[in-house]
Amino acid sequence: MRVKAKPIPEVIPGARHPMEKYLRTDRIPHIWCSGCGLGTVLGNFLYALDELRWEPDEVAVVSGIGCTGRIAGYLKLDTYHTTHGRAIPFSTGLKLADPKLHVAVISGDGDLFAIGGNHFIHAARRNLDLTVVCVNNFNYGMTGGQVGPTTPLESRTTTTPFGNFEHPFNLVHLAASAGASYVARWTTLDGRRLQKGLVEAMAHKGFTFVEVISPCPTNYGRRNRLGEGLDELRYYADHAVIRHGADPKEAEIVLGKPFLVGKFVELDKPTYREMYAAKVAEMGGKK
C-alpha cells in the first residue's frame, strides 16, 4: 500500500511532545533535515526510556560527532557530546567511575565504525555494560555526504563519484564477532520493534548493540535516487526481512537486495565490571 504523506507545518502552535520531560525543549527546533530518521530514533529512545522507568538522573547519554552526535544535546539528561569517534572510550571512563549510571552511546556509522571502530570492538570484547546505538545512514551526512564504512557497493557519494568500490562493514556481524551480548538491527520504519529493541538492549547487562537503518534523503538518498525520506521508508518496507536469530554473517546490506533485521544475539556473560569485582574479591581487596 502506498501512503501519500500529508504536508505538515514545521511548527504546530501549542503542540507538545508526549515525552517532553526528557527533552531540552529550549533547544528545539533541532538541526536535522526533513525526512531524516534521527527524529524517529530520538523519539523511540525517549519512549524506551519511559518504558524502562529508570530514574532519569541516573541515565547518561554520550555521543560522538556528526548528525547523530547531536542527539545528546536535545536530551534533558546528563549528556556528553565528545570528540569524533571517542564516545565509547569516554563512556568507558564514565561508567567505570560511576557504575550506578545507565550509559547509552548514540552515534553514527562513520563515528562509531571508521574513526571509532577500534574502540567499538574493544568495548564489545570487554563486555562493558554499555548500550551502543548506531544510526546507520550509509554516509557522512554532516560533512556533506561522503563515503563511509557502511556505504553499500556502487553507492554514489560526494567522494565516490563513480560509485563506491570499497567493501562495507556488516555491523551486525562485526558486533557479534567482537563479543557483544545483544545485537539487533531495525529500521526507522520499525517504530514499535525499534522501541522494544532499545528497551531490551538497555535492560540487558553487558555490551549491547542496536543498529538503526535510517534515511538521509539530503545526501545519501538524493545521490542514489532513493527519493525523499518517505521513499526511503518505502524501500525499507520492500526490502527489510525480519528474521530473529539469523546468522549475523547473512546480515550484509546490498543496494537493491533484501536485508535482514531483527534480534541476532542475546546471551548472558559476565561484564567487565563483574569480572573486575570478582578478581578484587579473590584478592581480598575492597570494591
Partner 1 sequence: MPTKATLSGVHFMNGDEAIAEGAIAAGCRFFAAYPITPQSEMAERLSWRLPRVGGTFIQMEDEIAAMAAVVGAAWGGAKAMTATSGPGFSLMMENLGLAVMTETPCVVVDVQRGAPSTGLPTAVGQGDMMQARWGSHGHYEIIALVPASPQEAFDLTVRAFALSERFRVPVLVLTDEVVGHMYERVKIPDEVPIAPRRRPAVPPAEFVPFKPDPDLVPPMACAGEGYRVHVTGLTHDERGYPDMSDGAHDRLVRRLAEKVLRYREEYTSYEEVGLDDAEIAVVSYGISARAAHGAIARAREAGIRVGMLRLITAWPFPDERVRALADQVKGIVVVELNLGQMSREVERAIRGRVPLVGVFHAGGRIHTPEEVLAGIEEVARCE
Nearest to partner 1 of 94, 212 (CB atom): 94
How far apart are CB 94 and partner 1 at their closest, in Å?
4
How far apart are CB 252 and partner 1 at their closest, in Å?
26
How far apart are CB 5 and partner 1 at their closest, in Å?
31
Nearest to partner 1 of 127, 160 (CB atom): 127
Nearest to partner 1 of 86, 185 (CB atom): 86
How far apart are CB 52 and partner 1 at their closest, in Å?
16
Nearest to partner 1 of 105, 255 (CB atom): 105
Q: Are 179 and 257 in contact (CB under 8 A)?
A: no
Per-residue cell: 283: 584478592
How far apart are CB 279 and partner 1 at their closest, in Å?
7
Q: Which residues lie near partner 1 (CB under 8 A)? A: 24, 26-27, 56-58, 60, 62, 72-73, 76-83, 86, 88-98, 100-101, 118-119, 122, 276, 279-280, 283, 285-287
